[in-house]
Amino acid sequence: MKNNNFSLMFITNNKDLSKHASESGVNRIFIDLEINGKYERQGHLDTLISKHSIDDIKSVRKAITKSELLVRINPIFSGTEKEINDAIYFGADIIMLPMYKTTEEIEFCSNIINNRAKFIPLLETKAASQCLEEVVKIPGVSEIYIGLNDLHRDLGLNFMFEPLTNGVIDNLVSIIKAAGLPFGFGGIARIGEGMLPAELILAEHVRLGSSSVILSRTFHRRSESLSELEALMSLDEEVNKILIKRNELATRSSEQIQEDMYKIKKIVNSIIDRKLNEKIV
């Protein structure tokens, strides 16, 4: 099934895996350079801290012809200008800036990029949410991605997908849509899997009008090579399942949409209660 209006993103620096993902319907290959400050934020958690490098951009760029190449740079630091210029020079189609907190940071990056690539601010802090109305007006900003992992912690919440049920995402999306920008959020496991079932997360993407999602490490079981991935799954089949389910969800009645929202809230609240009980124990 062709996928032209919903971008699936696969994080990898392996050229063979990138090529396979691109040919299997993944729209964006995601190289992750972010390392500065990440261990301090997430080192104690079961989260992915990648070891990708600028050199990976060159090899992956040569391997993919059907997909865009997205490069997440480091948060603003003394080497940001060089990092952006190198990423674009070696073939990045999209630059993503993580952990920003001010409009000035977005303006700084946008000026460096200077329309040579798409620019996606990654909203994952409370401060970033508070300046969103200004950020969406900055020339050069192509779209917004909402990173639920860091955002929920910065907001003092207990579960990654809690912002879907407490109005946070709805409020942010209303600002982004009013500015006419596309957006995406979070990650997704395989259809039929996930602590919060993937199809219910996908239902929220459809309800809100999202145009992109990251295929989580749960989705591909942390595969780091093509042989690992092929031993575990048919990527083409799993991508098709997402696209088919998305089309089905787009035909729901308003009653069905409300029912799915209720299911999500019930599961999220149950997970939060369990986490809080575990803290007490």
209: left (phi over 0), alpha (psi -120 to 50) or beta: left
Strand partners, 95: 71, 119
Model confidence at 141, pLDDT cuts 50, 70, 90, reads very high
pLDDT at 44: 44
CA angle 272–276–281, rounded 5-degree value: 145
> Mean pLDDT over residues 141-155, rounded?
97
Q: Which two tokens stand for residue 242?
A: 């997402």
Overall pTM > 0.75: yes
Q: Which residue has the higher pLDDT, 277 or 156?
A: 156
Q: In Å, how far are 132, 136, 182, 205, 265 from 177, measured between CA atoms?
A: 12, 9, 7, 13, 23
Three-state DSSP at 99 gives coil
Rounded to whole angstroms, the Cα distance separating 216 from 190 reads: 9
Structural element, H or E, at residue 28 = strand 28-32
Q: Residues 216, 188: contact at Cβ < 8 Å?
A: yes
Q: Maximum distance among all alpha carbons in the chain?
A: 53
pLDDT bucket at 207, cuts 50 / 70 / 90: very high
Alpha helix (H) ranges present in the chain? 15-23, 38-42, 54-63, 80-89, 103-113, 126-130, 132-135, 148-154, 168-178, 198-208, 217-220, 226-232, 235-249, 254-280
Q: In the prediction, which pLDDT does 51 show?
A: 86
The pLDDT of residue 39 is above 60: no
Q: Which pLDDT score is estimated for 43?
A: 47
Contact yes or no for 106/97 (Cβ under 8 A): yes
Q: What pLDDT is attached to residue 278? A: 82
